[in-house]
Amino acid sequence: MPGRTWKLCLLLLLGLGLGSQEALPPPCESEIYCHGELLHQVQMAKFYQDDKQFVDMPLSIAPEQVLQTFTELSRDHNHSIPREQLQAFVQEHFQAKGQELQPWTPADWKDSPQFLQKISDAKLRVWAGQLHQLWKKLGKKMKPEVLSHPERFSLIYSEHPFIVPGGRFVEFYYCYGHVPNGGRVYYLQRSQPPLLTLMMDCYLTHTNDTTFLQENIETLALELDFWTKNRTVSVSLEGKNYLLNRYYVPYGGPRPESYSKDTELADTLPEGDREALWAELKAGAESGWDFSSRWLIGGPNPNSLSGIRTSKLVPVDLNAFLCQAEELMSKFYSRLGNDSQATKYRTLRAQRLAALNAVLWDEETGAWFDYDLENKKKNQEFYPSNLTPLWAGCFSDPGVADKALKYLEDSRILTYQYGIPTSLQKTGQQWDSPNAWAPLQDLVIRGLAKAPLPRAQEVAFQLAQNWIRTNFDVYSQKSAMYEKYDISNGGQPGGGGEYEVQEGFGWTNGVVLMLLDRYGDRLTSGSQLAFLEPHCLVAALLPSLLFSLLSR
């Protein structure tokens, strides 16, 4: 990683844009997992339905020996190894995916946690117990050989056990100066959205473990430094400059885990534009929204993934996450008695709040919008991420919750019965309509639930009820939880994008259990009801208000 860091710095100092024909550095040095002829020939042979399968397979022998054998085989066949022989080479030199992991159950595991007893609906209570058991299925730890022979694995060694998301995602998410897109060497140059500081806050809330905070506060600072140094962009408006952040991954070549798809997509473009495409695809993956109309709108080709332009947009959610992290860091340093660092992060948060208000907030609409750096305007399409500052507590106007609620009404989002759509665009990408994703439900539901308005809190509950019933109904049919859901026709496993819908699934399970914990005394497993039209919201509030009055 250090070698790559100085090259990145050099690129930035030279001012090389992503549109340049200059070759960008590969995502890592490995000529097996990150770049090179072996990776190219195997992935383009398409032995596996999902390209990620190959780059997650451990080596049977040392990488030098694998490369030497491959080089000789390739030379003997004029750099085009016949399919059967190439497949035999892979089978001989690589092990099956997942061999480096073994099951793990947390030492403090409780079969029947206390929150289950708060769930009134008997069917939901049984279901929640089944979901709780899935954590044991998703718990993993690494085998000793990952430590003794790290060169044979794309997986990065961790001594600590972890929870995997499920399906094709059999790796951890860990801090490495930042939190990589995944715990594999080919992910190291892209981050996850910056939520590590929030995780620390959740941990402290439950444990009050100030010693752990003291031991790891500098690790949290490293993550925020990564975003400051590598992902900052200046926006000039009305004579003022505002510093905000974007997703940006100036590393070349196809994504190893989607190699054949990226290569074929690049073949539709002039050769000089391919490196820029691959960098933008990596930035889209860094955002978590891989892929969406959100990263296509505003460009010359908004209907094709080849027109992706992630780094040209200043995202609402990313900057709200960082605003929240800066506020938490100020709180953490105050708790540890470091006033100078507390002041530093308090100042950073105030600066970002001013930038959010000036650049991303739209008073007329009552929401925040991604800012297009090239076209110098907001992207006013609907995405749940438009309300992330409400969830993150990153606003100064006390009336913002009421405005956000009106925005949801005006956008007709509250008429969707089975969940909040990811967008209103149908592109075939997985982060668009008709898919709905658990983390995005959480952003809106908890954002509204935090508001002091009873009306906003009731809408939050109704949205939670819709999402719980969708997940429960699909689980009742399929006996599985999914990473995303199609909400167009009664709720089904989601679709679209680059791979089949995955079972598991970490964040889906987590959001459902969080909602059951919060609203368990009110949620039901009964038949789905359409969400009320905006003008009927007052009627929706009457039963709860009457109950409140009668209970006094």
- Given the structure tokens 């860094």, which residue do they identify? 286
Question: What tokens were used for 507?
Answer: 């964040």
If DSSP codes are grouped into helix, strand and coil, which group holds residue 535? helix
Nearest-angstrom CA–CA distance, 359 and 373: 11
Distance of CA 142 to the CA centre of its chain: 23
Torsion (CA) 57, 184, 429, 230 in degrees, nearest 10: -160
Nearest-angstrom CA–CA distance, 111 and 292: 39
DSSP per position, 242-280: EEEE-------S--GGGHHHHHHHHTTS-GGGHHHHHHH
- Given the structure tokens 């609409």, which residue do they identify? 365
Amino acid at 292: S
- CB count within 10 Å of CB 139 equals 18
If DSSP codes are grouped into helix, strand and coil, which group holds residue 88? helix
Nearest-angstrom CA–CA distance, 436 and 463: 12
Peptide bond into 162 cis (omega under 30): no
How many Å is the Cα radius of gyration of the chain?
24
Catalytic pick among 100, 121, 483, 486: 483
Amino acid at 66: V
DSSP per position, 333-347: HHHTT-HHHHHHHHH
Contacts of 356 (CB under 8 A, 6+ apart): 244, 316, 319, 320, 323, 368, 389, 394, 395
Nearest-angstrom CA–CA distance, 10 and 257: 27
83-93 vs 63-76: helix crossing angle, rounded to 10: 170
Catalytic pick among 201, 290, 370, 458: 290
483 annotated active-site: yes
Contacts of 116 (CB under 8 A, 6+ apart): 125, 128, 129, 132
H or E element at residue 543: helix 537-550
Nearest-angstrom CA–CA distance, 155 and 185: 7
290 annotated active-site: yes
Strands (E), 439-523: 484-486, 492-493
Torsion (CA) 513, 515, 520, 523 in degrees, nearest 10: -120
Amino acid at 493: P
- Supply the residues annotated as catalytic: 290, 483
